[in-house]
A and B are shown apart, each in its own frame.
Chain A
Amino acid sequence: MGAATTTHVPTASHDTPDPNENYLTVTKGVWSWLATLDHKRIGVMYLVLVTAAFLLGGIFALLVRLELFTRGETIMGAETYNRMFTLHGVVMVFLFIIPSIPAALGNIILPIQLGAKDVAFPRLNLMSLYIYAFGACFAVYSMLTGAVDTGWTFYTPYSTTTHSAVIPMIMGAFIMGFSSILTGVNFLATVHKMRAPGLTWTRLPLFIWGLYATSIIQILATPVLAITLLLLTCERAFGIGIFDPKLGGDPVLFQHFFWFYSHPAVYIMIVPGMAVINEILSTFSHRAIYGYMFVAMSSIALAVLGFLVWGHHLFVSGMSEYAMMVFSALTFLVAIPSGVKVFSWVATLYKGSIRLASPMLYALAFIFQFTIGGLTGVFLGMLAIDVHLHDTYFVVAHFHYVMVGGTVFAFVGGLQYWWPKFTGKLYNELVAKIGFWFAFVGFNVTFGIQFVLGSRGMPRRYYDYLPQFEKFHQISTVGSWFIGTGFLIVGINLMYSLFKGKKSPRNPWNSAALEWQTPTPPPLANFTKVPVITRGPYDYHLATEAELAED
């Protein structure tokens, strides 16, 4: 590694630099994990926590769907139901999806893809993890003391007047925000300062470009959420009138503040997913991502445009017609970089050599589902149509197509793609594919039918519904059982591989990317010697046979 970069890596953490030991075996004991400064171990601990959050949020989702299986009370009352859908949203957004790809997969893979020993600030990295865990404790405390029934959006004045445990939950989201900001800062510094010799900006893996764009959003948008949540707490706890008209406030102001963060946050959630898809597509097509620079810049474009469209969440809130016109037009511009990505991904397959391994199935499903998620966004961007569809199941289906069909599929695909890298184990490919097909079919049944439910007029966040909606709800609920089964199979398959899985070769997917050119699992310092980069990560025509070989 160049002299400029080595000075940034504290060597104190890497106390036993034995090149034969990998990062999992180099030190032992619980404390060696809890106090580690190694980005891979921190990433693995993030992974454990976000997966636990995903499981919890998933159980809430299944309970919500089960309650909606029949009209009236099926398994719970209205007040419990309102808590369930709120907790599903809060847990999935703040505890799972925001940290999922950047903090878990990103932490493990980003420094290796840069040819670096670690992130720029390893101690800050560990601190981010603990801040996240601390914030999560507040969320759990809220759940145990009455939970919240406001929806994950915390709209005022309901959130300042309801009798549920709003403040602990808000504090949890507030604290976890700092974890997100610090991870963003860390990644930006790492990308700028820790790249291996020869790793120019045009040779950066697109996963890095995606996380780079995400980090910018995390740093710029999250403070706004923090301020908003603090103001909400001031109103609720001390009666300071900011949002409640009874106290002289403005409830629509809260919506502007909230979505000024939460719309960019949509890109905190989806851009890393897109980033993962690039890596998978390239590896399993043995081709460079088509139009590399356009794809890289489209991530940056999404990060920028993401800040300018928050108003489309307020199209029926009584905002001025002129503001609506501007927000609607800007919203349509988001389609451009999204389209560039989709076109480039499809073109990447052209003249490739395509292997349909399980991560590739997730990537292809991502393209299909993200296309639907994106195009249904066109309906919602059109003012006259949005006025009908706003706050209906159409919107629920739309964002689940992006967040689940997009990000969650990318997360699971990426997890399986890099699983051999950081565990050193191979999972059963057939079982992985069975899990995929359950999740894929289940997902499209569950949320596909919700588009129809919504366009026919079914409002969201409804405990009970009119008879004409019942059969649609039942189809959706049956679909949810397939999703649950699919991801359960995936989870069991991965867990089983830890104990009984075959040892992974260095490069099980015959990839040309840098992270597969170092031993699997990697040594503590990621590389046995500093890599010198002479080609891009996707240049299969320049990669040697030895590099593409499994061992």
Chain B
Amino acid sequence: MIHIRPDNFQLPEALSTDAARVDDLYMFVYWFSVIFTVAITGTMLYFVWRYRRRPGHTAEPVTHNTTLEVAWTVIPIFFVMALFHLGFKEYAHEALAAENSIEIGVRGQQWSWTFTYPNGKQDASEVTIPINRPVKFVISSQDVLHSFYVPGARLKKDAVPGMYSSIAFTPNTIGDMQIFCAEYCGKDHSGMLAKIHVVAEKDYEDFLKKGDRMDGEPLDAYGARLYKKNACYTCHTIDGSKGNGPTWKGMYGKPVTLQTGETITADDNYVHESILKPQAKIVQGFTNVQMPPFTLNDEQISGIIAYMKTLK
């Protein structure tokens, strides 16, 4: 394999151990294509100029040459089979997850990603993993098709409802990796983003042990952060405008009418229940959209409630 370093114009930063090899392959095919295109187009333009119609020039009848034609049919077969082999070999290498890999669950739903760590801890829209350890993401979907795409690792795999799929890679750079949803999934498909935080092994261990509230963070600020992180904003606005679900502005502590016609107060218990069991009490006029349950712990729900109290 010829090693030509990517100039970083065509490809994003390579952040996993295998990404650079995919890049080498990409650049190899790129230069192969450039040479081929220039040769074809150059020959074409040369002929167009050389044999341009002009007085005293007539076309000569050249019909075919079987040797040449067989050559340009057979020789490319070897080229393309070699390319197939390179592509498959690298893919097979990537497809095998290392045995000591950390398994992290990825659940796609319209329109956010939820991650589950080996110890059961959950995270939405961001996931923290240690550097230089193979990580296997086990991907599934709550509703429609999604695709878990990590450009920094040059990997993606569809999240298919009713089935598990996976990708595995070893991050080799401390910092963030972008996650996209690459399979069209409806209205906010382009907002279904997430981040992978690659941290040192020790920071990962610490992270797994503690909750996600930062030291000294006020409860309402924590709630505001959870609002963003769990992508609550895709359905619940905070400015009173209409969304897929009821706006949070001025909701807390006020009476709300349910679809059953019953009127209740949106208090702590109501908010608690609505996050864990969204279908239990649906506000009138919002029966079209099925909110998925969010597994937040009590501290997180308290944060959300504190945040809602600030939205008067």
Contact = CB atoms under 8 A, between A and B. Distances in A.
Interface of A: 78-79, 82, 149-151, 155, 157-158, 161-163, 244-246, 250-252, 285-288, 290-294, 316-318, 321, 324-325, 328-329, 332-333, 335-336, 339-340, 342-347, 349-356, 364, 367-368, 371-372, 375-376, 378-379, 381-388, 390-392, 451-452, 455-457, 459-466, 539-541
Contacts, number: 265
A457 B145 contact: no
A459 B191 CA distance: 11
A202 to B, nearest CB: 11
A287 B61 contact: yes
Sort A-B residue pairs by CB-CB distance and give the 3 closest, nearest first. A245-B162, A382-B87, A457-B151
7 contacts: A155-B183, A250-B162, A252-B163, A350-B51, A351-B60, A391-B147, A459-B190
Contacts of B203: none
B290 to A, nearest CB: 10
A325 B92 CA distance: 9
B51 A354 contact: yes
B268 interface: no
Nearest to B52: A354
Contact of A354 (B47, B89, B188): B47
Given A351-B51, A364-B48, A382 B11 contact: no
B9 A353 contact: no
Nearest to B64: A291
A79 B111 CA distance: 14
B151 A388 contact: yes
Interface string B173-195: 00000101111111111110100
A316 B187 contact: no
Contact of A346 (B44, B190, B191): B44
A321 B59 contact: no
Nearest to B79: A335
Contacts of A245: 161-163
Contacts of B58: 286, 353
A368 B41 contact: yes
Nearest to A294: B69
B190 A455 contact: no
A375 B33 contact: yes
Contact of B184 (A151, A286, A354, A356): A151
A332 B58 CA distance: 39
B78 to A, nearest CB: 11
Residue with the highest number of chain A CB atoms closer than 10 Å, among B9, B12, B63, B68: B63
Contact of A382 (B25, B64, B156): B25
Given A346-B47, A375-B33, A539-B61, A381 B189 contact: no
Question: Do most interface residues of chain A lie in helix, strand or loop, or is the interface mixed?
Answer: helix
B154 interface: yes
A350 B161 CA distance: 56
A456 B11 contact: yes
Nearest to B166: A318
A549 B151 CA distance: 60
B182 A384 contact: no
Interface in B257-312: 288
Nearest to B40: A371
A340 B69 contact: yes
Nearest to A331: B84
Interface string B112-124: 0000000000000
A294 B70 CA distance: 9
B83 A456 contact: no
Given A82-B189, A286-B59, A387-B94, 9 more contacts: A157-B145, A245-B163, A246-B162, A317-B158, A344-B69, A349-B44, A354-B48, A356-B48, A367-B40
Contacts of A328: 84, 87-88
Contact of A294 (B10, B37, B73, B151): B73
B157 interface: yes
Nearest to A293: B64
B63 A336 contact: no
Residue with the highest number of chain B CB atoms closer than 10 Å, among A244, A375, A381, A382: A382
B90 interface: yes
Nearest to A455: B10
B214 interface: no
Given A455-B10, A459-B180, A155 B187 contact: no
Given A288-B61, A336-B76, A391 B183 contact: yes
B289 to A, nearest CB: 10
B20 interface: no
B190 A456 contact: no
A333 B73 contact: no
Interface in B65-120: 65, 68-69, 72-73, 76-77, 80-81, 83-84, 86-92, 94-95
A92 to B, nearest CB: 17
A391 B87 CA distance: 18
A251 B44 contact: no
A387 B190 contact: no
B91 to A, nearest CB: 4
Contacts of A340: 69, 72-73
Contact of B154 (A353, A387, A463): A387
Contacts of B64: 290-294
Contacts of A163: 288
Contacts of B95: 321
A351 B62 contact: yes
Contacts of A459: 149, 180-182, 190
A383 B161 contact: no
A388 B156 contact: yes
A396 B102 CA distance: 35
Contact of B91 (A367, A387, A392): A387
